[in-house]
Structures are given as C-alpha cells and as structure tokens.
Amino acid sequence: GNSVTQMEGPVTLSEEAFLTINCTYTATGYPSLFWYVQYPGEGLQLLLKATKADDKGSNKGFEATYRKETTSFHLEKGSVQVSDSAVYFCALGWTNTGFQKLVFGTGTRLLVSP
C-alpha cells in the first residue's frame, strides 16, 4: 500500500544551521507529495507541495524536490530560525475509488536554539 517514512526526531539545530529532514515514500501510480508543518498548539498547515517527478516545491525558505528515482521528497532549508521550531509531516496524496486522500508520515520534531 501507499506509505511515507520520515526520519525520527527530534532534530536539534542552532540558529542559521542547514536543515535536512528525510522523507521516502512507497506508492503505486503517481502521487503528489507534501510537507505540512505543525507549530506548537496549532493544527497542521501546508508548507509546500510537488505534484509530479522533478518538481520542486518551495515556501518560506524551505524546499523539497520530488525524486521518483529515489522515491524521496527531502525537506531542506539553508538557514533555520528559532521560529522554525515545529513538527514537520511528510505526506503523500493519492486517489482511491474517486476520492483523494492523504497519507502522513509520523512527523519529525525540529528544535532550533538561539
């Protein structure tokens, strides 16, 4: 079945460090891929997405490239800020019996210290 695997956290970084959060997927067909972010005390919000192979999603300095050959969608940011501390969820979108669904990874907590 369709599934998403992402690295366990927490990931602890100092401000201005480079961030990578790994995400790989298993899917039939051609899914869309997403990163959602959950700030403390809030619901999830869409961070970025890519709908086909080699697409790059980007937002707020974060980037991820849809790599079909390695079935990956790693999240990167060149210089993290304390305000980026949150839980990041990789997700896969697919259509089943006419309905689109999302399958989420387990989440990776990022902690950024000043």
User: Quick one: DSSP state of residue 87?
Assistant: E
- Residue 50 Cβ vs another protein, minimum distance, rounded to whole Å: 11
User: Nearest approach, Cβ of 18 to another protein (angstroms)?
Assistant: 25
For another protein, the closer CB: 55 or 104: 104
User: Where along the sequence are the contacts to another protein (CB under 8 A)?
Assistant: 32, 34, 41-46, 49, 89, 91, 93, 99-102, 104-107
- CB nearer another protein, residue 72 or residue 93: 93
Distance CA 109, CA 114 (A): 17
Residue carrying the six token digits 């989440």: 107
Q: Which is nearer to another protein, 42 or 114 (CB)?
A: 42
From the list 79, 84, 77, 78, the residue with the least C-alpha distance to 111 is 84
CB of 112 to another protein, least distance (A): 21
Q: Please answer whether residues 36 and 102 qualify as being in contact, where contact means their C-beta atoms are separated by less than 8 angstroms.
A: no
Beta bridge partners of residue 65, listed in sequence order: 56
Nearer to another protein by Cβ, of 28 and 100: the residue is 100
Both structure tokens of 73: 């969608």
